[in-house]
């Protein structure tokens, strides 16, 4: 740490909020409970909610002078984050999600890591959790290397420079220098921002001692919608940045293609269009789908053993929901671009 650097600079937390009545109060509580001696403020970027979130945010802001909000009429997360950053006053920006909970020492540890490493952005581990059987199954998928591909902030990795960071604790001057969040994106804005930070010659740092609890979507439909939209926008990033994207992002779309080819071949075989040696040759296309199903069963009933049968089956079914939704979205995005695709999992039942 430089001798002139304030060990406890003021911190501004920025949190996009839309239809989060069930989560936002707890998220705000964990921010306001941070064990950090420096000045703190929380700016909520409030989208046009319909579930009582707006009234709740107004009450939270009235109850604590550290809490304020800005209106985010367009609902998009990057735009809301930029509005909140513009309204902030401190040199450290901490991104927070309404579905997240910060551990009490999160801010102090993150600021210390910024000072120790000289990094522009610091992030830690996303620890998904759930309160219902479905949400717990989704959380296990988030935390598993079989669910989201083993990124450092999902499964953990040694401390050091990283490709991206979950949420992020930023030096404000560098965030401003690179142009804040890209408002043309509706998903993947974190990865894209961290790419620009690294291209500008700065360091993004992963610290596994930083832990954030994340609450996944609560139903099959919401989870599928979320992952489909995420896949669409990841494909948009591939269209823009090509091979700079990690190889693991190409696995789900290949799985969708394998499933589609297997289904078509199966129908042609069942109807007699493919027969004899040709049918036997085309049977090879089923191997990929068969291997995937066997992997799911092994994950659920060997790797994840020790849980109740219901929990294991939920886990086995949540994984392909995430993989296939993400992969289908990716293929749509690659072929047609992201366009105006929106994540409706927060706005519809």
Kindly report, residue by residue over 291-304, the tens digit of the pLDDT.
999 988 888 878 76
pLDDT band, residue 245 (cuts 50/70/90):
low
User: Among 131-140, 285-294, 305-314, 315-324, whose mean pLDDT is lowest?
Assistant: 305-314
* Number of Cβ within a 10 Å radius of residue 93: 24
Phi, psi of 296 (to 5 degrees): -60, -45
Q: Do residues 96 and 17 touch, judged by C-beta distance below 8 A? A: no
Place of tokens 């950090």: 36
Mean pLDDT (whole number) for 209-235 = 93
Beta bridge partners of 104: none
Q: Which residue, among 143, 156, 186, 180, has the nearest Cα to 299 in the 3D structure? A: 143
The encoded tokens of residue 37 equal: 């001696």
Residue 155: the pLDDT is: 55
Question: Helix and strand tally (H, E) in the chain?
Answer: 14, 9
Whether 2 shows a pLDDT value over 60: the answer reads no
Which range has the top average pLDDT, 136-150, 228-242, 333-347?
A: 228-242
Handedness of CA 148, 180, 194, 337 (dihedral sign): positive
In whole angstroms, give the CA distance from residue 145 to residue 129: 16
Domains present along the chain, CATH in parentheses: 11-216 (3.90.550.10), 240-346 (no CATH)
Residue 244 has pLDDT above 80, yes or no: no
Give the Cβ contact number of residue 112 at 10 Å: 16
In this structure, the chain runs to a length of 349
What is the model's pLDDT at position 249? Answer: 79
For residue 47, pLDDT beyond 70: yes
Q: What is the pLDDT of residues 54-101, one digit of tens each?
A: 999 999 999 999 999 999 998 889 999 999 999 999 999 999 999 999
Mean pLDDT for 320-341 is 94
pTM of the model: 0.87
Q: What is the pLDDT of residues 141-157, one digit of tens each?
A: 888 878 775 555 555 57
- pLDDT at site 3: 47
pLDDT above 90 as % of the chain? 66
Structure confidence at residue 122 as a pLDDT band (50, 70, 90): very high
The span from the CA of 41 to the CA of 115, in Å, is: 20
CA dihedral over 113, 9, 11, 39, signed as positive or negative: positive
Q: Where are the alpha helices (DSSP H) in the chain?
A: 24-32, 53-63, 77-87, 106-117, 133-143, 145-148, 152-155, 172-177, 189-199, 220-241, 251-270, 276-282, 286-298, 309-336
């Amino acid at each position: 740490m430089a001798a002139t650097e304030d060990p406890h600079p003021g911190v501004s937390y920025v949190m996009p909020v839309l239809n989060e009545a069930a989560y936002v109060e707890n998220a705000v509580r964990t921010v306001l409970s941070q064990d950090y001696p420096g000045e703190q403020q929380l700016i909520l970027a409030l989208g046009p909610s319909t579930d009582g979130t707006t009234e709740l945010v107004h009450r939270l802001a009235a109850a604590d002078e550290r809490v304020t909000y800005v209106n985010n009429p367009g609902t998009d997360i990057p735009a809301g984050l930029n509005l909140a950053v513009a309204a902030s006053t401190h040199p450290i920006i901490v991104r927070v999600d309404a579905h997240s909970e910060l551990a009490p020492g999160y801010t102090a540890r993150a600021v210390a890591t910024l000072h120790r490493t000289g990094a522009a952005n610091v992030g830690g581990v996303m620890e998904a959790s759930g309160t219902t059987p479905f949400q717990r199954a989704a959380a296990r998928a988030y935390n598993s290397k079989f669910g989201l591909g083993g990124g450092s902030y999902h499964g953990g990795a040694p401390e050091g420079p990283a490709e991206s960071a979950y949420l992020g604790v930023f030096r404000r001057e560098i965030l401003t220098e690179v142009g804040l969040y890209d408002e043309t994106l509706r998903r993947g804005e974190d990865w894209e921002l961290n790419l620009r930070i690294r291209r500008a010659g700065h360091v993004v740092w992963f610290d596994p001692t930083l832990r954030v609890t994340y609450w996944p979507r609560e139903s099959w439909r919401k989870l599928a919608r979320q992952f489909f939209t995420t896949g669409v926008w990841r494909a948009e990033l591939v269209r823009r940045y090509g091979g700079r994207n990690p190889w693991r992002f190409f696995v789900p779309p290949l799985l969708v293609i394998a499933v589609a080819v297997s289904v078509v071949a199966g129908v042609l075989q069942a109807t007699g269009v493919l027969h004899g040696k040709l049918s036997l040759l085309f049977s090879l296309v089923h191997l990929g789908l068969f291997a995937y199903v066997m992997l799911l069963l092994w994950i659920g009933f060997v790797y994840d053993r020790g849980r109740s049968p219901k929990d294991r089956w939920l886990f086995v079914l949540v994984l392909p929901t995430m993989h296939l939704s993400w992969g289908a979205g990716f293929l749509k995005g690659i072929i047609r671009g992201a366009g105006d695709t929106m994540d409706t999992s927060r706005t519809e039942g």
